[in-house]
Amino acid sequence: MTKAIVLGGSRGIGKSISNALKTIEIDVFATSKNDINTSNLNSVKKFLEKNIQTDILVLNTGGPAPKPFLTITEEDWKLYHNQLFLGFITILQNIKINDDGYIFLISSNVIKEPNSKLIISSAYRAAFAEVFKVLSKEYAQNNISCINIAPGPINTDRTRELIDNVKEFEKTLPMKRLGEPEEIGNFVKGIIENNVKYLTGVTINFDGANSNYIF
Protein backbone atom coordinates (compact mmCIF):
# COMPACT_ATOMS: atom_id res chain seq x y z
CA MET A 1 0.00 0.00 0.00
CA THR A 2 1.17 3.52 -0.80
CA LYS A 3 2.44 5.32 2.30
CA ALA A 4 2.19 9.02 3.10
CA ILE A 5 3.66 11.07 5.93
CA VAL A 6 1.81 14.35 6.54
CA LEU A 7 3.54 16.67 8.97
CA GLY A 8 1.07 18.71 10.98
CA GLY A 9 -1.57 16.26 9.85
CA SER A 10 -3.72 16.51 12.95
CA ARG A 11 -5.22 19.95 12.25
CA GLY A 12 -5.96 22.55 9.60
CA ILE A 13 -4.64 22.07 6.09
CA GLY A 14 -2.57 19.05 7.10
CA LYS A 15 -5.62 17.29 8.49
CA SER A 16 -7.60 17.98 5.33
CA ILE A 17 -4.80 16.54 3.19
CA SER A 18 -4.61 13.46 5.44
CA ASN A 19 -8.35 12.90 5.27
CA ALA A 20 -8.41 13.29 1.49
CA LEU A 21 -5.58 10.80 0.97
CA LYS A 22 -7.25 8.22 3.18
CA THR A 23 -10.20 8.15 0.77
CA ILE A 24 -7.96 6.73 -1.95
CA GLU A 25 -6.62 3.96 0.25
CA ILE A 26 -3.29 5.53 1.12
CA ASP A 27 -1.72 4.56 4.43
CA VAL A 28 -1.41 7.99 6.06
CA PHE A 29 0.70 8.88 9.08
CA ALA A 30 -0.78 12.23 10.14
CA THR A 31 1.74 13.56 12.61
CA SER A 32 1.23 15.90 15.54
CA LYS A 33 3.80 17.75 17.63
CA ASN A 34 3.96 14.70 19.87
CA ASP A 35 5.37 12.76 16.91
CA ILE A 36 7.70 15.42 15.51
CA ASN A 37 8.41 19.05 16.38
CA THR A 38 10.46 20.64 13.60
CA SER A 39 11.60 23.44 15.91
CA ASN A 40 13.48 20.81 17.93
CA LEU A 41 16.15 19.03 15.89
CA ASN A 42 16.42 16.23 18.44
CA SER A 43 12.72 15.56 17.91
CA VAL A 44 13.28 15.53 14.15
CA LYS A 45 16.18 13.09 14.40
CA LYS A 46 14.23 10.80 16.72
CA PHE A 47 11.33 10.78 14.25
CA LEU A 48 13.69 9.88 11.41
CA GLU A 49 15.03 6.88 13.30
CA LYS A 50 11.61 5.24 12.96
CA ASN A 51 10.47 6.76 9.66
CA ILE A 52 13.13 6.16 7.07
CA GLN A 53 11.13 6.11 3.84
CA THR A 54 7.78 6.97 2.32
CA ASP A 55 6.04 7.34 -1.02
CA ILE A 56 4.46 10.71 -0.27
CA LEU A 57 5.76 13.41 2.05
CA VAL A 58 3.87 16.56 3.02
CA LEU A 59 6.05 19.22 4.66
CA ASN A 60 3.69 21.35 6.69
CA THR A 61 4.09 23.35 9.89
CA GLY A 62 2.64 26.41 11.59
CA GLY A 63 4.33 29.78 11.76
CA PRO A 64 5.15 32.39 14.36
CA ALA A 65 2.77 34.92 15.83
CA PRO A 66 2.86 38.40 14.26
CA LYS A 67 5.66 40.55 15.65
CA PRO A 68 7.09 43.95 14.72
CA PHE A 69 10.65 43.60 13.46
CA LEU A 70 12.28 45.46 16.35
CA THR A 71 10.64 43.19 18.93
CA ILE A 72 11.85 39.92 17.39
CA THR A 73 14.43 38.29 19.64
CA GLU A 74 17.47 36.19 18.78
CA GLU A 75 15.63 33.23 20.35
CA ASP A 76 12.69 33.81 17.97
CA TRP A 77 14.99 33.73 14.95
CA LYS A 78 16.69 30.53 16.14
CA LEU A 79 13.43 28.75 16.99
CA TYR A 80 11.78 29.38 13.65
CA HIS A 81 15.00 28.86 11.72
CA ASN A 82 14.66 25.26 12.87
CA GLN A 83 10.90 25.01 12.53
CA LEU A 84 10.52 26.53 9.06
CA PHE A 85 13.91 25.76 7.50
CA LEU A 86 16.51 23.50 9.10
CA GLY A 87 13.97 20.95 10.36
CA PHE A 88 12.73 20.38 6.80
CA ILE A 89 16.31 20.28 5.50
CA THR A 90 17.16 17.58 8.03
CA ILE A 91 14.15 15.52 7.00
CA LEU A 92 14.95 15.65 3.29
CA GLN A 93 18.58 14.76 3.91
CA ASN A 94 17.65 11.65 5.89
CA ILE A 95 14.40 10.22 4.55
CA LYS A 96 14.08 8.21 1.35
CA ILE A 97 11.27 9.16 -1.00
CA ASN A 98 10.47 6.12 -3.09
CA ASP A 99 10.70 6.39 -6.88
CA ASP A 100 7.55 7.79 -8.53
CA GLY A 101 6.63 9.53 -5.27
CA TYR A 102 5.56 13.04 -4.32
CA ILE A 103 6.75 15.78 -1.99
CA PHE A 104 4.33 18.59 -1.21
CA LEU A 105 5.49 21.72 0.59
CA ILE A 106 2.77 23.75 2.28
CA SER A 107 4.35 27.18 2.42
CA SER A 108 2.52 30.52 2.31
CA ASN A 109 1.78 33.44 0.03
CA VAL A 110 4.36 35.40 2.07
CA ILE A 111 7.11 33.73 0.01
CA LYS A 112 6.06 36.01 -2.85
CA GLU A 113 4.46 38.92 -1.02
CA PRO A 114 6.40 39.43 2.24
CA ASN A 115 4.27 40.54 5.17
CA SER A 116 5.67 43.17 7.55
CA LYS A 117 3.84 41.50 10.44
CA LEU A 118 5.23 38.07 9.53
CA ILE A 119 8.87 38.84 8.80
CA ILE A 120 10.20 35.60 10.30
CA SER A 121 7.79 33.48 8.28
CA SER A 122 8.41 35.52 5.13
CA ALA A 123 12.17 35.07 5.42
CA TYR A 124 12.45 31.39 6.33
CA ARG A 125 9.62 30.09 4.17
CA ALA A 126 11.08 31.89 1.16
CA ALA A 127 14.52 30.49 1.92
CA PHE A 128 13.27 26.91 2.07
CA ALA A 129 11.19 27.42 -1.08
CA GLU A 130 14.48 28.19 -2.89
CA VAL A 131 16.02 24.96 -1.60
CA PHE A 132 12.91 23.00 -2.56
CA LYS A 133 13.03 24.39 -6.10
CA VAL A 134 16.67 23.34 -6.53
CA LEU A 135 16.02 19.87 -5.11
CA SER A 136 13.05 19.33 -7.45
CA LYS A 137 15.53 18.86 -10.32
CA GLU A 138 17.35 16.11 -8.44
CA TYR A 139 14.15 14.35 -7.38
CA ALA A 140 12.86 14.51 -10.96
CA GLN A 141 15.55 12.03 -11.97
CA ASN A 142 13.62 9.41 -9.96
CA ASN A 143 10.21 10.61 -11.19
CA ILE A 144 9.48 12.23 -7.82
CA SER A 145 7.31 15.32 -8.15
CA CYS A 146 7.84 18.35 -5.90
CA ILE A 147 4.96 20.79 -5.57
CA ASN A 148 5.02 23.92 -3.43
CA ILE A 149 1.51 24.99 -2.41
CA ALA A 150 1.44 28.61 -1.24
CA PRO A 151 -1.92 29.20 0.48
CA GLY A 152 -3.45 32.61 0.83
CA PRO A 153 -6.32 33.24 3.27
CA ILE A 154 -7.63 29.79 4.24
CA ASN A 155 -10.33 29.02 6.80
CA THR A 156 -8.07 27.77 9.59
CA ASP A 157 -7.28 28.63 13.20
CA ARG A 158 -4.11 30.30 11.93
CA THR A 159 -6.06 32.77 9.79
CA ARG A 160 -8.31 33.62 12.71
CA GLU A 161 -5.22 34.28 14.84
CA LEU A 162 -3.93 36.77 12.27
CA ILE A 163 -7.15 38.55 11.32
CA ASP A 164 -9.34 40.34 13.86
CA ASN A 165 -12.59 40.51 11.89
CA VAL A 166 -12.74 37.62 9.43
CA LYS A 167 -16.21 38.49 8.13
CA GLU A 168 -15.15 42.00 7.17
CA PHE A 169 -11.90 40.69 5.70
CA GLU A 170 -13.79 38.24 3.49
CA LYS A 171 -15.61 41.16 1.86
CA THR A 172 -12.26 42.46 0.56
CA LEU A 173 -11.37 39.20 -1.18
CA PRO A 174 -12.09 38.60 -4.89
CA MET A 175 -14.18 35.49 -4.12
CA LYS A 176 -15.71 37.08 -1.00
CA ARG A 177 -14.73 34.10 1.13
CA LEU A 178 -11.80 32.26 2.63
CA GLY A 179 -10.48 29.16 0.96
CA GLU A 180 -11.34 25.89 2.64
CA PRO A 181 -8.65 23.45 3.80
CA GLU A 182 -10.56 20.68 2.04
CA GLU A 183 -9.92 22.39 -1.30
CA ILE A 184 -6.19 21.98 -0.78
CA GLY A 185 -6.73 18.42 0.41
CA ASN A 186 -8.70 17.60 -2.73
CA PHE A 187 -6.06 19.23 -4.92
CA VAL A 188 -3.31 17.05 -3.43
CA LYS A 189 -5.54 14.00 -3.72
CA GLY A 190 -6.29 14.77 -7.37
CA ILE A 191 -2.62 15.12 -8.27
CA ILE A 192 -1.81 11.72 -6.76
CA GLU A 193 -4.97 9.91 -7.85
CA ASN A 194 -4.49 10.98 -11.46
CA ASN A 195 -0.75 10.27 -11.44
CA VAL A 196 0.15 13.83 -12.46
CA LYS A 197 3.94 13.79 -12.62
CA TYR A 198 5.10 16.54 -15.00
CA LEU A 199 3.79 19.27 -12.69
CA THR A 200 6.92 19.57 -10.58
CA GLY A 201 9.29 22.28 -9.43
CA VAL A 202 6.33 24.67 -9.32
CA THR A 203 4.62 26.92 -6.80
CA ILE A 204 0.83 26.85 -6.78
CA ASN A 205 -0.71 30.11 -5.56
CA PHE A 206 -3.75 28.80 -3.72
CA ASP A 207 -5.30 32.16 -2.90
CA GLY A 208 -8.57 32.72 -4.78
CA ALA A 209 -6.98 35.37 -7.06
CA ASN A 210 -6.08 37.48 -4.01
CA SER A 211 -2.43 37.96 -4.96
CA ASN A 212 -1.07 40.60 -7.33
CA TYR A 213 1.92 38.72 -8.71
CA ILE A 214 2.05 36.72 -11.94
CA PHE A 215 4.89 34.27 -11.35
- Which run of H or of E encompasses 94? helix 87-94
Class of domain 3-206: alpha beta
- Which run of H or of E encompasses 123? helix 119-140
What is the DSSP code string of 20-56? HHHTTT-EEEE--TTT--TT-HHHHHHHHHH--EEEE
Q: Which of 107, 143, 137, 144 is nearest to 123 (CA)?
A: 107
For the chain, the structural domain boundaries read: 3-206
pTM for the complete prediction? 0.97
Provide the b/e sequence for 36-57 (b: ≥16 CB within 10 Å).
bbbbeeebbeebeeebeebbbb
pLDDT at 52: 97
Separation of alpha carbons 115 and 50, rounded Å: 37
pLDDT at 207: 96
Cβ pair 157, 21 in contact under 8 A: no
Q: Which of 115, 117, 147, 110 is nearest to 132 (CA)?
A: 147
pLDDT at 214: 83
Cβ pair 103, 143 in contact under 8 A: no
Residue-wise pLDDT tens for the chain (215 aa)?
Answer: 999 999 999 999 999 999 999 999 999 999 999 999 999 999 999 999 999 999 999 999 999 999 999 999 999 999 999 999 999 999 999 999 999 999 999 999 999 999 999 999 999 999 999 999 999 999 999 999 999 999 999 999 999 988 999 999 999 999 999 999 999 999 999 999 999 999 999 999 999 999 988 87
